[in-house]
Amino acid sequence: MAGNSLAGVVLPLVVLQVTGSAWGAGIVAGAAVVPAVLAGLFTGVVIDRIDRRTASVLADVVSAAAIGILPLVELVGELSLGWFVASALLGSLGDVPGLTAREALLPAVVRHGGMGVERLTGLRESLGALAMLVGPAAAGGLMALYGGAAVLWITAAASLAAALVTLLIPRGVGANDGLAGPPRLREGWTALTRSPFLLAVTGLSLAALLVLVAFQALILPVSFVDRPGFLGLVLSAMALGALVGGAVYAMAGSRGPRRAWFVSGMAGVTAGVVLMAVPSAGSVLAGSFTVGLSSGLFNGLLGVLMIERTPEEARGRIMGIQNAMMTAAAPVAIFAAAALTEAAGTDTAAAVLTAVWVVAAAAALRSRALRTLEEGTAVEEVRP
């Protein structure tokens, strides 16, 4: 995550340096979308078939190779748009499958690691937020020191380091012992679509991603186009809030009813989104921090529930489908927000996005599948 957050800032800058065109950066960003979606769908089958520890390591090695090829080419030759597209295509085979493999491995880590599930998911949220906070800040300094694609060696090294850390997990921990036969993708779809809980979580996560990506990638940049430094401050405030929220859940998530944590997180995200829709720098900053803080609580709890209520034998396929949906949803959110902003202005677009989230939050709070959240109280137990 630290390597990806660094690359998220450095890579577009390097593309612009090499191509001199914002269009080139857009081509590179768009080139990986469809392959990443397909990889998310179909590699879930592979992750469920082979050891999930091994799948995670292999995916991180692919990610390291995909980003490492760029500074290597710059070292021995000349970078071009084609190399960036090739890197993006290869990276799509590592990033989403790697995310899926790590998520599928998490329940085994909980069982064998001797740490409470709430503490583990809360720490994961905090560390992820820390990576998002430090990565962009480090990117600027590293670009000033080294310049160009050389900084991307650090991202490649981070992926290799992740692979090496995963190898410290004992062999066999990630084995899918519940698999009865050869895994098939349709079994993942069946498990997902027949589970009210998984459908509710997937829909809620999609709504959150659509709204927050649209705000971060389009609404706020358009609203504060004359203050580019402010946008970095907004993202930092959100990451800082998530860091605090994840830490709070890690320390106290096992105390009190889960429904209270869920309602608190949902209410906080809703309040934060409303504040972000107000065209005021102070309101946007406060809203960003509130969204991050509440998301840390909300995502920590959802991580626990996904560990407990996702069928183990189809976990890779289910999470692969979910991650593929998230990957496809991001560009859709940006396109829709752009069209709405162009047609009605940023204030109207922000109001529509806020309304979308309020409706999604209200539906989640009323959902029967998300009403009983304590361990062992799932409404149904669906097997593929």
Per-residue pLDDT tens for 61-85? 999 999 999 999 998 888 888 999 9
152: closest CA among 57, 73, 269, 81? 73
Name the CATH superfamily, with its identifier, for domain 184-384.
MFS general substrate transporter like domains (1.20.1250.20)
pLDDT at 383: 45
d(CA 173, CA 356): 41
For residue 300, the Cα-to-chain-centroid distance in whole angstroms is 13
Q: Tell me where in the chain the CATH 1.20.1250.20 domain(s) lie.
A: 1-173, 184-384
Q: Tell me, what's the pLDDT at 185?
A: 84
Q: Can you read off the two tokens belonging to residue 340?
A: 């709405």
Mean pLDDT, rounded, of the chain: 88
Q: Which of 234, 224, 244, 294 is nearest to 264 (CA)?
A: 294
Side chain identity at residue 194, one-letter code: R
Provide the pLDDT for residue 138.
83
Q: What are the residues whose beta carbons fall under 8 Å from the beta carbon of 136, sequence distance 6 or more?
A: 5, 6, 8, 9, 232, 235, 236
Question: Which of the following CATH numbers is that of domain 1-173: 1.20.1250.20, 3.40.50.300, 1.20.120.1200, 3.20.20.70?
Answer: 1.20.1250.20
Query: Cα(65)–Cα(74) distance, rounded to whole angstroms?
Result: 14
Residue 181: per-residue pLDDT: 65
Report the b/e string of 8-25 with b at 16+ CB within 10 A: ebbbbbbbeebbeeeebb
Q: Name, in order, each residue with C-beta under 8 angstroms of 133's C-beta and a sequence gap of 6 or more.
A: 236, 239, 240, 243
Q: Which two tokens stand for residue 89?
A: 């295509």
Q: Burial of 211 by CB count in 10 Å (0-12 exposed, 13-18 middle, 19+ buried)?
A: buried
Give the whole-angstrom CA distance, residue 110 versus residue 215.
34
Distance from C-alpha of 333 to C-alpha of 63, rounded to nearest angstrom: 25
Please state, in angstroms and rounded to a whole number, the distance separating the CA atoms of residues 247 and 252: 9
Decide if 208 contacts 291 (C-beta within 8 A): no
Tell me the per-residue pLDDT of 351-375, one tens digit each, with 9 for 90 and over.
Answer: 999 999 999 999 999 999 998 898 7
| Closest to 245 measured CA to CA, from 209, 302, 298 | 298
Cβ-based neighbour number of residue 248 at 10 Å: 18
pLDDT of residue 114: 83
Q: What angle (nearest 5°) sits at the alpha carbon of residue 344, between those of residues 341 and 348?
A: 80
Q: CA–CA separation, 242 vs 15, rounded Å?
A: 30
Ranges of residues in the chain with a pLDDT under 50 are: 379-384
Torsional sign, CA 7, 209, 292, 286: positive
Tokens linked to 353: 């996005």
CA angle (203 as vertex; 201, 208 as ends), nearest 5: 95
